[in-house]
Structure 1
Amino acid sequence: MFTVLIVDDEVHAIRGLEVGVRWKSLKVQHVHTALSLKQAQQIYLNEPIHLMVCDIEMPKGTGIELLEWVREHDPKVETIFLTSHSDFSYAQKAIKLGSFEYLLKPVDYEELEQVIGKALAKIEKTQELLMYESDYKYYAQLWESQKPLMKERFWQELIKQSIGSSPERISEYAASSKLPNLVSSKYLPILIRVQKWYKPLSQRDEQIMEYALRNAANEQILKNEAGSAVISVPNGGLLVLLEASSDRMDTAMLDDCISYVRGCSQYFSCDLNCYIGQPVYATEMVTSYYNLIQMDRDNVTHANQTFLFRHYKKSKEGTLQPPSMSSWEEWMKMGAKDKLTEAVACYLDDLRDRKYGVDAQALQLFYQNFLQMMFFVLQVKGLQANDVFAESLLTDKPQEVLRSVSSLKEWILYLIDVSMSQIHATQKSLSVVDRVKAYIQEHIGEQNLTREEVAGCVYLNPDYLNRVFKKETGMSISDYVQLQRIAYAKELLALPDYSVSDIALQSGYSNLSYFSTLFKKMTGMNPGDYRKHAQSKEVEISKL
């Protein structure tokens, strides 16, 4: 008999799985439930768990984070992931490379039962094998299964420089972790960096996609070779470390990386690059890694390509002349938006097509000069930049847009649109209002959907955005959010599948009493009466 743990932050989702799956027929004796990562960890420490059915997106710790923790404590546990993000169905193949399954919500219970049956059959077979092994063999096998994790941890500590790069320190760490000699072998480093996602991703979504990219790299580039590793590095990158004794150091490795980049761009909807270093000893790995990082920083013109470090040439200083922005400045003052956008787009397209002379430093210089020009024009017109744009314009956003010329072009054109719409009152910022409406619609069920959070999605000052929004719609952002929440609740009440309390939560209200009061104030009837009215009306329509 087996024990299962269901982890989901939505109570109704857990109840559905408890009732919808025929656990007894699957030989499941106990079904435990947890609403968060912390609760799940506590259950693992007190109960024997064979299988976990887990939601990926949870507010206080993701399913990916929980799986990593579980593997450290009990690598035998099998995991089935559930997610409501249908956009990530293309990641299913890559995520299946791990020891778990990946299903989309709302899950089909028959399909889930089949997957659970396969997972339990695998667990049962493992248990049978362990029954015939001696304690020594069992613990030896368990230790071997942990070796890749120990090796990955070594490389991460080395890259972070938590371990010194001297032969003595590396040998000492290897001995304490019972790893093989890491000093005498050479490794080929390959840096993978995502330049841009085609769709906006939350932090949790990026973690899911990074996990998929990592598994795909292990499968396609490393070919699951035991002596190699894939580790996460800062700023959304992956570092592939292939043992240099492999016979795939030249043409075959380049072809594998090219195929990997092509596949990831197509199936994971992103722009990314691979940077192949040269075989080095562990004592030289930190230097080699930072050389590849610099190579990536200087690549601001090419995407979805593979580069060899031995072909890397640092751009010559002084080969790129910044544009004269005096005419740009005058066009912005006059409101000649079409002229300005065309000139800026042509200049950045020319940068993108240059073979030499464009690197991260040149892009940074252009960006600073443009901001200086734009802020000057705003000041001349009696406006302060902070009154128009959010603080992230000067802090977070530049780190993202300076990754490539294409990203910078998109961002600069957006700055022109917003700033000139504010300078010249006759121009409307309807596109900004449309983006805000779309963001509210997408996040309507979130309780903390504040005016500040909405303003952050378009990088504008909340007060300024509220004025623009009210001018275009006749209502404030807060009033619009309430209106959309109630409209969404009315749609759900017309369906028999959800209770009133569930509908309140899905509409962004944690307090049922407050929801009922507000609903009655805005519709003239309480949620229960509205449901009866909507259902009776539908019956009348069906009789016609």
Structure 2
Amino acid sequence: MVTMLVVDDEIYALKGITQGIEWGDLPIARILEADSVPEALRQLEENQVDLVISDIEMPGASGMELLRHIKEARPSTLTIFLTGHARFEYAQEAMRHGCFEYVLKPVDHDALKEIVRRAVAKIEERRAQLAFEETLETYRRQWTNQLPILVERFWQEAMAGGLPASPERLAREYATYDIPLAAGDTVLPVLLSVEQWDMALDGRDERIMEYALRKAAAEIIVGPEGAGAALQDRAQQSLVLLYGACGERERTALMARCRDYIRACREYFHCKVSCYVGEPAAPQALAGELERLSRLERANVMQPESVVDAAMGADQAAGGASAGSAGGGQALPPFMEWGILLEGGSVAELETAIADALRRMKEEGAGREGLELFYYGFVHLLYQSALRRGVPAGELLSQQELAEGLSARTPDGMSAWALRLLAKTHAALLDRQRDASAVIAKIQGFVQERLNEDLGRDEIAKAVFRNPAYLSRLFRKETGMSLTDYIAQAKIERAKRLLTDTNDKISNIAEGLGYMHFSYFAKLFKKVTGVTPQDYRKKHQSL
């Protein structure tokens, strides 16, 4: 509805418009009157006026002054001028100041009503446009606020093979999500691996802190001037994606930023983190590159809080044995990378790598010392791979087989021995390959046997020969809860049985489950069960 103000110093002309015209068929809620410009200004100050019909020539201030005021103070208000002068200059000046229409006196009421009808339509059109723009701005703000989540979902879809095949459509998708990439550009992934929390966290708090770590990664690793995103993939791995090309200088700077990030995580978030830096890949190949980084993470059990550069080769990146030499100046093979190939089932590729490495040693004239270093590195590789798959080391190789390798005198002899043991180890891993549920069962058994201890993730990871960060993700994925929450739940279940089946003091039960502070135990018990330990015993004990 519209509020209209009519201004005229002639009372009969004023009443003729406000009362002599039937306005009922127009959406006009109120009609205000003013017999002077000062009175009109007061009405404008006190009311939200949408339309003004005003005479130009009035004693004192004129209609033109009123129009200038309206233009400055109420630019959305429309004005229709009435005048007894037919001079073009009046009309020209009025139109220049934004007058909607100019009407000569004496006023034809039907003509004026038709002009008002058009003005009201214009007002409603403006209101609709304004409402649309406000709605659009609301959703634009919501879109902007949700954009990080939408970008995360886009990359999750991309890593699941859901990218558009057409370069033109892919370019449109990039533009939609404000991703500064062209269809042929590459993306460099950095896997963020949380190895240990120094503070006790439940599952919810751990997820909150992982979100905080991703925010910090966006600030430190991507940087304010960089282009990229910190997100979580569908396997709940935290990672950074850096957009565009990455030359040698940029990669060196990236490694430095990763080290800064690790230090910041230790200092501000009380956790140990490693960064696994991949190589630039097309978005369609991101899943494969991320899997390579995940294998590096699983294999890295000896180098916490490290920056692992996948472009250097896994063993060199993690600071492993390949940094040394095989005697006589020959570099040792990348045994950690070979372990990844073995555990990934790429046996044919590994056989080629072994044969090539020993052929090079032969060409370079490797001596006895070099062969022995190869022997010990290779045996360690086999044992580590077997242990990570749950195969006891004693069952893998016989003493005779070990002695045969140690007695090899030439690279050809060492090659034949290594390939035989590789085939045997691969067969053993296939025979004894443990699936995720078996690993989870082993973890749960380990926890149940040690409910009286203050168990940590690192201790459990060592018991099952897994990387701590990988172990946490695996457990959460398979069980739907964090390892910390499972331990707490298992202890509370044990406490419930002891409360109902024994008359032990509640404080002794708490201590026997590794809780040195009774108040913490009581608070946790009530959080899980909804009642205090005392009330639970009263309700359920039958002794």
Q: TM-score range by the shorter chain?
A: 0.3 to 0.5
What's the TM-score, normalizing by structure 2? 0.39
Q: Greater CA radius of gyration, 1 or 2?
A: 2
